[in-house]
Structure 1
């Protein structure tokens, strides 16, 4: 197995996080296939007048051929940048950015979520406001069968907890009115899927003001893993 490291540049917090993800092999192509993706933007006005703007820019995927040349192995390296701006009533409260990907095997993930056996600790009760759970995966090495889908985070930020012990966070916490996180060549490695496979990025943002706590989720465009 090949291992890669990717660097997440955290704007607004003056810190950097190294994202280390494993790598599985993928489809039986003879060369990498570069897929530019359009990203997107969502603007949500909260009940107290706070305006949350989430953007996904510079998004792309590089689909890599399988080292084993088997149809059940796929691999892609993904890149992008999530940008958040706050304005209005709570325009300086800061927030938390959770970037990640949903991957499905023979399941439609185009609707913002996945209809099928969604795994991982995410609250999918509202497809537009996906809420990360404490135990959600932060690795891109996946094994899925037909009709299954799962989600994972690309960040694994090491920092000290309240007691000085090492802890790992799946979000970039920013203060003030804006924050961002950029990732490059994060790996999606999928094995076990004999049918078609898709992936789709998401950026979930948590904002807490004096009167409201909310999640805003922006979905990227689905792309084929083969």
Structure 2
């Protein structure tokens, strides 16, 4: 996987989580960032009932971002350090037999409103990834966060955080953009994972997302949770 600060974990949990509404408020234009700015973020959670009655809960917790400009104070360059925990929990009929796939990332936009994304979004409006209803094996956000992001006005892109090396069925090296866990709980955490944004002369925004897929013997269920947007200058 990319960044050494990213940790994927699995474990068994008991009980049913109570869903909370994720924040969807946006931020307007902001002055260029000169000093490091720490932004605490509320995270969020969402719960959906799958076809067989199993409850799927996706959460973002412990989320924050730290923003700084370039060393040369160039207004078209920003650096972002992000911290959060993404988790998925199952409770019900398929909880002990299904497989969970989890893939976190960030949507980043330049002079475009990304606050309207929600669990019913389809990835339209110029985003280069269809995150909702897509199989995580074919998710369209093909570049990882550490590669940096170049954006012009009116553009927005999605970037995945995970890049896991695993042998395929023939023993050859393959790369997966999700962590696959055969238990009712999965999580991925990251601390001070950084990416840069270049080329955006106006205000820019970002927001985290967690794409979840549940595979059982009878169905495949998909759900995406978006965090609250935050300004990056």
- The TM-score range, normalised by the shorter chain, is 0.7 to 0.9
Contact 2:124 2:130 in 1 (8 A): no
TM-score, normalization: structure 2? 0.81
TM-score, normalization: structure 1? 0.83
Deviation at 1:204, TM superposition (A): 0.6
CA gap of 1:38–1:186, structure 2 versus 1, over 3 A, is same
Partner in structure 2 of residue 11 of structure 1: 9
Deviations 1:88-140 (Å, cap 9, x if unpaired)?
11112121001000000011000116764222xx225x5xx565535521234
CA gap of 1:107–1:28, structure 2 versus 1, over 3 A, is closer
Partner in structure 1 of residue 69 of structure 2: 65
Residue of structure 1 aligned with 2:182, choices 172, 175, 195: 175
Unaligned runs of 5+ in 1: 14-26
Deviates more, 1:86-95 or 1:102-111: 86-95
Unaligned runs of 5+ in 2: 12-30
Q: Distance in 2 between matches of 1:134 and 1:204?
A: 9
Contact 2:69 2:75 in 1 (8 A): no
Root-mean-square deviation (CA, aligned residues, Å) is 2.1
Q: Distance in 1 between matches of 2:77 and 2:130?
A: 28
CA gap of 1:39–1:131, structure 2 versus 1, over 3 A, is farther
Residue of structure 1 aligned with 2:112, choices 107, 111, 114: 107
- The number of aligned residues is 205
Residue of structure 2 aligned with 1:164, choices 171, 175, 198: 171
Deviations 1:41-95 (Å, cap 9, x if unpaired)?
1111012111101111001101022122111111101110011111111112121
Partner in structure 1 of residue 20 of structure 2: none
CA gap of 1:189–1:131, structure 2 versus 1, over 3 A, is farther
Q: Distance in 1 between matches of 2:170 and 2:162?
A: 22
**Alignment pair present for 1:138 and 2:144:** yes
Q: Distance in 2 between matches of 1:168 and 1:115?
A: 26
CA gap of 1:154–1:30, structure 2 versus 1, over 3 A, is same
